[in-house]
C-alpha cells in the first residue's frame, strides 16, 4: 500500500523545520545577537527552505495540521529574520547628513505652502495692528509674551531685548521650557496633518500671527532692527523647524486628499515614513535653538555681533538643508531616484542578516 | 490555531503570503499599560536622581534639566525599544507582540518614528480634551466644535472600528501589530499504522478506487480532527463506531465488520483516502468535498 506523498514530504523535511524552530526561538527570546556565526548563517537558508515547503504544502498536502504548523513556523521565522533592519555603524551620521536633508528637499511644495501660511499669519497680524494696535491681545498668548505688550513702555521693551530680567540659572530653565514647548508644538503640527492637514495650516497661521504681532509692536516703537537682531540667532533654527514640521504635516494631509494612483492607505504610510525623519530632525533643531537661546541670547548684547551670529546660523542651516547629502558623481541622480522608487514599493533591499555574512537571496 | 481569530496576511520578500494572528485590543492595551508603568518608574528615578544632585547645583538648572529629560524619556522610550528590540518594547515582549511592516519588508526606523510621533495626538490629546475641553477648543463656535470632537473620537476609537485594529500611528507608519504565532506540529495521523501493540496492521484493510471516490478534502480533515480528539480523550470510541459504520455504508465496504476495531478501520481509510486524493491532485483534479465532482 502506498503512503500518502505528504507523509514522505514531511519525513524528509521535519529535521530542518525543527532546527529552524530552535533557532527562531533563540532569536525571538534573546535577540539575533545570541546566535553564533554558524547559526546566523543557517537561519536564512532554513527560512527560505521552510517558505518553499509551505508553498508546496499549501497546494498539495491534504493534512491541515501540517499546513497550520508550517504557516506558524514560517511566520515566526519571518519575524526573526526580517523583524528589523539593524542599523549599521555610522547610521546616525547618514540619517543626519544625507537622509534628513534629502527628505527635506523632497518636500519642496509643502515647504513653500508651510512658509506661505506662516507668512500670511504674520502679514495679517501686521496689517490689522497697523489699523488697531489692540489686536495684539488676540494674537499673542500673555504667558509667552512675558510683559512685552502694547501697554509696556518703550524702555522696558528695549530692556527685554538686552537683559530680559532673567540671569544665569533662570535662563537655562526658560530655554529648556521653550525647547520642550516648541518640540511638542512641532510634533503636534506633524500629527495633526492626519486631519487632512487643516489643523496644521491653522497652527502655522496662528504662529505667524504671533510673529507678526511682535514685529509690529517693536516696529511701532522704532525697535525693529534691534528685535530682529535679538530674534534671528535662535529664530533661524526655531522658525525653520516650525516650517519643517508644518511641511511634514501638510505632506501627510496631501497624501490623504491626493493619493494619486495608490490607495489612500499606501500613500499615507509612505508620506508618514518620509516625513517622520523630517520631524525628528526638526526636534533636533528646536534643541539647537534652545541652546542658542539659553547661552548666547542674553550674553551677547551687541547688535552687530547678534547679526553676525544670525548670519553664521543661517549659513550652516541652509547649507545643511540644501547642500548636504547631494551625490557628486554624474548619474548618481538616477541611482537615487530608482532607490527612492524601490523604497516606495517596499521591494526588499537585503536583510539585517546579509551584512553578517549570510548568503544572498 | 483558533478559527475565530483575525488573521493578517503579509507578503514577505519571497513573494509568499504569511499569516499572522492580529494582536487583540486587550493584549495591546495591556502591553501599553506595562510600558506606561515602566515609563513612569523611569521618570520617577530621574526625578529622584535630580533631587539628589540638587544639593550641589542650583534649583532652576535642575528643573530645566528635568524638563528635557522627561521629554526625551517620554518620546524616546517607544522609539528606542522598537528600533533596537526589533519591533518590540518590554510590554510587547511580555505579551509576545511585535510590530511588523505592512508591506512585508523589514521594519525600518522611519516607520517606527512615524507610528510613535502620532501617539501623542491620538491618545493624549483626545483624553486631555475629554478631561478639560476648554483647553483645546476654548469658546469655539459649534461648527468648529462638532467636526473637531468627531475627529478626536475617530482617532481614539479607530482601533475598535478599523478592520485590522490599526491605530492612527499604524496607518501613518504603515505597520501592524501581530502576535508571535505558536508553532506546534501535530502527529501525522497517516504515518501511524496501528494503535494497539500486537494488533494486525491497518494496511491489511484495503479499499478499491471506486470506494475512495466518495469523499473530498473537507471530510478527510474532519476525520483527522476526530481521530486526534479521540487520542486526547475528547471523542469516545462510540463516536468512532458511528462514523466507521456511516463511512462503510456510504462507500459500500464489504470486509470484516468495521465497528469491531473502528480505530484501525478509520486509520486505514484515512491513510488511503489521503494518498488517493493527493494522487488525484497531482493530475490536476481537486476534490474539496463530497459534493464536488
List C-alpha distances in Å: A258 to A48, A217, A263, B16: 39, 40, 10, 31
Cβ of B278 and A61 within 8 Å?
A: yes
**E-only strand ranges, B32-190:** 97-101, 175-179
Task: Report residue A277 as a C-alpha cell.
Answer: 525623519
DSSP B22: B
Contact A2 B180 (CB under 8 A): no
Q: Residues B248-291: pLDDT tens digits?
A: 888 887 777 777 778 888 888 888 888 888 888 888 888 888 88
Could you tell me the three cell numbers for B248? Answer: 462503510
Q: Is the pTM for the entire model greater than 0.90?
A: no
Among A30, A192, A269, most B C-beta atoms within 10 A, so best to mutate, is: A269
Q: Do the chains contact at A83 and B86, CB–CB below 8 Å?
A: yes
Q: With an 8 Å Cβ cutoff, are A272 and B172 in contact?
A: yes
- Residues from chain B that touch A174, judged by Cβ atoms under 8 A, are 64
Cβ neighbour number for residue A215 with a 10 Å cutoff:
18
Q: What is the pLDDT of residues A41-55, one digit of tens each?
A: 898 999 999 999 999
pLDDT, position A47: 92
A350: CB partners within 8 A, 6+ apart:
none
Rounded mean pLDDT of B227-231? Answer: 84
The C-alpha cell of B14 is what? 519571497
Reading the block at residue A180, the C-alpha cell is 520642550
Please give the residue of chain A at the shortest CA–CA distance from B64: A173
Residue A131 reports pLDDT greater than 70: yes
For the cut 70, the answer to whether the pLDDT of residue A64 exceeds it is yes
What lies within 8 Å, CB to CB, of A272 at 6+ separation is A252, A255, B111, B114, B115, B118, B171, B172, B173, B174
The pLDDT score that the predictor gives to residue B289 is 81
Domain boundaries, chain B: 7-179, 202-282
CA distance to A175, A178, B63, B67, per residue, from B54 (Å): 19, 22, 9, 14
Neighboring chain B residues of A64 at a CB cutoff of 8 Å: 221, 224
CA separation for the pair B77, B157 (Å, rounded): 24
List of chain B residues whose C-beta atoms are within 8 Å of the C-beta of residue A79: 86-87, 98, 100, 178, 180
Report the percent of chain B where pLDDT is more than 70: 87
Once rounded to an integer, what is the mean pLDDT over residues B134-140? 62
ipTM exceeding 0.90? Answer: no
With 0-12 / 13-18 / 19 or more C-beta atoms within 10 angstroms meaning exposed / middle / buried, residue B125 is: middle
Residue A349 pLDDT level (bands cut at 50, 70, 90) = very low
Model confidence at B31: pLDDT above 90: yes
3-state secondary structure of B99: strand
Q: B7 has which bridge partners?
A: B21
- pLDDT tens digits, residue range A175-230? 888 888 889 888 888 988 888 888 899 889 988 999 999 899 889 888 888 888 88
Place of cell 480533515: B221
DSSP conformational letter for B256: S
Measured between alpha carbons, how far is residue A209 from residues A128, A136, A212, A217, A234 in Å?
10, 9, 5, 12, 19
B chain contacts of residue A347, beta-carbon cutoff 8 Å: 105
Q: Output DSSP code: residue B211.
A: G
- Contact list, A273 vs chain B (CB under 8 Å): 108, 110-111, 113-114, 173-174
Residue B26 CB-density burial (10 A; 0-12 exposed, 13-18 middle, 19+ buried):
exposed
Distance (Å, whole) CA A233 – CA B156: 40
Q: Tell me, what's the pLDDT at A2?
A: 67
Test A65 with B185 for CB contact under 8 angstroms. yes
| 3-class SS of residue B186 | coil
Q: What percent of chain A has pLDDT over 70?
A: 83
User: Is A255 within 8 Å of A271 (Cβ atoms)?
Assistant: yes
Residues of A within 8 A of B184 (CB-CB) are: 69, 72
Residues of B with Cβ-Cβ distance to A68 under 8 angstroms: 1, 186
Q: Which residue has the cell 549570510?
A: A358
* pLDDT score recorded for residue A112: 94
Cβ neighbors of B248 (< 8 A, separation 6 or more) are B258, B265
pLDDT 10s digits, B73-105:
988 999 999 888 888 899 999 999 999 988 888
Q: Examine the pLDDT at A333 and tell me if it is beyond 50.
A: no
Quick one: which H or E segment has residue B246? helix B237-251
Mutate to test the interface with A, among B20, B21, B143, B180 (most CBs of A within 10 A): B180
Which comes out higher in pLDDT, residue B35 or B196? B35
Chain A segment 102-161 residues within 8 A of B by beta carbon are none
Candidates B71, B102, B281; nearest CB to A269: B102
Instruction: Evaluate whether A249 touches A197 at the Cβ level (below 8 Å).
Output: yes
- Residue B8 phi/psi, 5° resolution? -120, 130
Mean pLDDT of B146-167: 81
pLDDT in tens, B99-125: 998 888 888 888 899 999 888 777 777
The length of chain B is 293
Which pLDDT score, from 0 to 100, does residue B135 have?
A: 61
| Burial per residue of A298-321, b for 16 or more beta-carbon CB atoms within 10 angstroms, e otherwise | bebeeeeebeebbeebeeebeebb
Which among A6-15, A192-201, A243-252 has the top mean pLDDT? A243-252
Domain locations along chain A: 5-82, 91-326
Looking at residue A221, its pLDDT comes to 87
Contact flag B183-A195 (C-beta cutoff 8 Å): no
Task: Please write the tens of the pLDDT for every residue from A78-127.
Answer: 988 886 555 555 677 777 888 888 899 889 899 999 999 999 999 999 99
Is A190–B188 a contact, with Cβ atoms under 8 angstroms apart?
A: no
B113/B133 Cα distance (integer angstroms): 28
How confident is the model at residue A345, as a pLDDT?
Answer: 40
**How far apart, in whole angstroms, are the C-alpha atoms of residue B22 and residue B98?**
10
Mean per-residue pLDDT for A61-80?
Answer: 87
Quick one: cell of B30? 495591556
Q: Which residues contact B24 (CB under 8 A, 6 or more apart)?
A: B165, B179
Asked if residues B193 and B202 have their Cβ atoms less than 8 Å apart, the reply is: yes
A73 touches chain B (CB under 8 A): yes
Asked whether the beta carbons of residue A6 and residue B282 sit closer than 8 angstroms, the reply is: no
DSSP character at residue B279: H
For B270, the enclosing helix (H) or strand (E) is helix B262-282
Q: Per-residue pLDDT tens for A132-154? A: 888 888 888 777 676 777 777 88
Q: Which residues contact B13 (CB under 8 A, 6 or more apart)?
A: A82, A348, A351, A361, B104, B105
A191 to chain B: which residues are within 8 Å by CB?
117-118, 120-122
Q: Using a CB-CB distance cutoff of 8 angstroms, which residues of chain B are in contact with residue A63?
A: 188-190, 224, 274
Is A351 in Cβ contact with B190 (below 8 Å)? no
More confident residue, B190 or A181: A181
Amino acid at each position: 500500500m502506498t503512503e500518502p506523498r505528504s507523509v514522505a514530504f514531511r519525513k524528509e523535511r521535519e529535521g530542518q523545520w525543527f532546527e529552524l524552530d530552535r533557532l527562531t526561538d533563540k532569536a525571538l527570546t534573546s535577540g539575533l545577537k545570541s546566535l553564533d556565526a554558524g547559526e546566523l548563517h543557517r537561519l536564512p537558508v532554513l527560512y527560505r527552505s521552510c517558505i518553499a515547503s509551505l508553498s508546496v504544502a499549501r497546494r498539495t498536502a491534504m493534512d491541515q495540521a501540517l499546513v497550520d504548523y508550517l504557516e506558524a513556523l514560517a511566520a515566526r521565522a519571518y519575524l526573526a529574520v526580517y523583524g528589523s533592519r539593524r542599523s549599521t555603524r555610522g547610521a546616525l551620521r547618514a540619517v543626519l547628513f544625507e537622509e534628513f536633508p534629502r527628505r527635506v528637499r523632497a518636500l519642496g511644495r509643502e515647504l513653500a505652502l508651510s512658509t506661505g501660511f506662516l507668512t500670511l499669519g504674520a502679514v495679517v497680524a501686521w496689517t490689522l495692528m497697523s489699523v488697531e494696535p489692540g489686536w495684539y491681545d488676540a494674537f499673542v498668548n500673555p504667558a509667552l509674551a512675558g510683559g512685552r505688550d502694547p501697554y509696556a513702555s518703550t524702555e522696558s521693551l528695549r530692556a527685554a531685548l538686552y537683559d530680559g530680567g532673567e540671569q544665569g540659572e533662570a535662563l537655562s530653565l526658560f530655554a529648556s521650557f521653550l525647547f520642550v514647548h516648541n518640540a511638542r508644538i512641532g510634533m503636534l503640527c506633524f500629527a495633526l496633518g492626519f486631519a487632512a492637514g487643516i489643523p496644521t495650516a491653522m497652527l502655522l497661521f496662528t504662529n505667524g500671527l504671533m510673529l507678526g504681532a511682535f514685529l509690529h509692536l517693536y516696529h511701532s516703537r522704532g525697535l525693529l532692527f534691534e528685535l530682529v537682531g535679538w530674534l534671528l540667532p535662535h529664530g533661524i533654527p526655531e522658525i525653520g523647524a516650525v516650517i519643517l514640521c508644518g511641511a511634514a504635516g501638510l505632506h501627510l494631509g496631501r497624501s490623504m486628499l491626493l493619493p494619486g494612483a495608490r490607495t489612500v492607505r499606501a500613500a499615507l504610510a509612505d508620506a508618514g515614513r518620509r516625513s517622520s525623519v523630517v520631524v525628528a530632525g526638526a526636534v533636533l533643531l528646536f534643541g539647537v535653538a534652545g541652546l542658542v537661546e539659553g547661552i548666547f541670547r542674553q550674553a551677547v548684547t551687541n547688535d552687530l555681533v547678534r547679526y553676525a551670529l544670525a548670519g553664521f546660523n543661517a549659513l550652516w542651516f541652509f547649507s545643511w538643508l540644501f547642500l548636504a547629502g547631494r551625490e557628486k558623481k554624474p548619474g548618481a541622480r538616477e541611482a537615487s531616484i530608482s532607490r527612492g522608487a524601490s523604497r516606495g514599493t517596499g521591494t526588499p533591499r537585503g536583510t539585517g542578516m546579509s551584512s553578517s555574512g549570510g548568503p544572498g537571496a | 490555531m483558533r478559527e475565530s481569530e483575525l488573521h493578517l496576511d503579509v507578503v514577505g520578500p519571497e513573494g509568499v503570503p504569511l499569516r499572522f494572528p492580529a494582536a487583540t485590543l486587550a493584549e495591546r492595551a495591556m502591553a501599553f499599560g506595562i510600558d506606561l508603568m515602566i515609563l513612569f518608574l523611569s521618570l520617577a528615578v530621574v526625578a529622584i536622581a535630580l533631587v539628589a544632585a540638587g544639593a550641589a547645583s542650583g534649583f532652576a538648572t535642575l528643573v530645566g534639566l528635568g524638563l528635557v529629560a522627561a521629554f526625551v524619556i517620554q518620546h524616546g522610550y517607544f522609539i528606542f525599544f522598537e528600533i533596537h528590540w526589533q519591533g518590540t518594547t518590554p510590554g510587547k515582549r511580555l505579551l509576545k507582540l511585535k510590530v511588523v511592516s505592512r508591506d512585508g519588508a523589514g521594519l525600518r526606523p522611519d516607520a517606527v518614528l512615524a507610528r510613535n510621533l502620532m501617539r501623542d495626538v491620538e491618545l493624549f490629546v483626545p483624553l486631555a480634551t475629554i478631561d478639560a475641553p476648554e483647553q483645546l477648543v476654548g469658546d469655539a463656535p459649534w461648527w468648529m466644535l462638532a467636526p473637531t470632537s468627531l475627529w478626536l473620537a475617530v482617532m481614539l476609537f479607530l482601533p475598535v472600528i478599523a478592520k485590522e485594529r490599526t491605530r492612527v500611528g499604524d496607518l501613518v507608519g504603515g505597520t501592524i501589530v501581530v502576535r508571535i504565532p505558536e508553532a506546534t506540529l501535530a502527529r501525522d495521523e497517516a504515518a501511524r499504522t496501528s494503535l494497539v501493540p500486537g494488533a494486525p496492521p491497518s494496511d491489511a484493510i484495503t479499499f478499491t478506487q471506486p470506494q475512495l471516490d466518495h469523499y473530498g478534502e473537507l471530510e478527510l480533515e474532519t476525520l483527522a480532527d476526530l481521530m486526534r480528539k479521540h487520542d486526547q480523550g475528547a471523542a469516545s470510541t462510540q463516536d468512532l463506531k458511528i462514523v466507521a459504520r456511516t463511512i462503510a455504508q456510504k462507500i459500500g465496504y464489504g470486509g470484516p465488520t468495521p465497528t469491531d476495531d473502528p480505530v484501525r478501520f478509520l486509520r486505514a481509510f484515512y491513510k488511503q483516502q489521503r494518498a488517493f486524493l493527493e494522487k488525484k491532485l497531482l493530475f490536476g483534479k481537486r476534490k474539496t468535498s463530497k459534493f464536488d465532482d
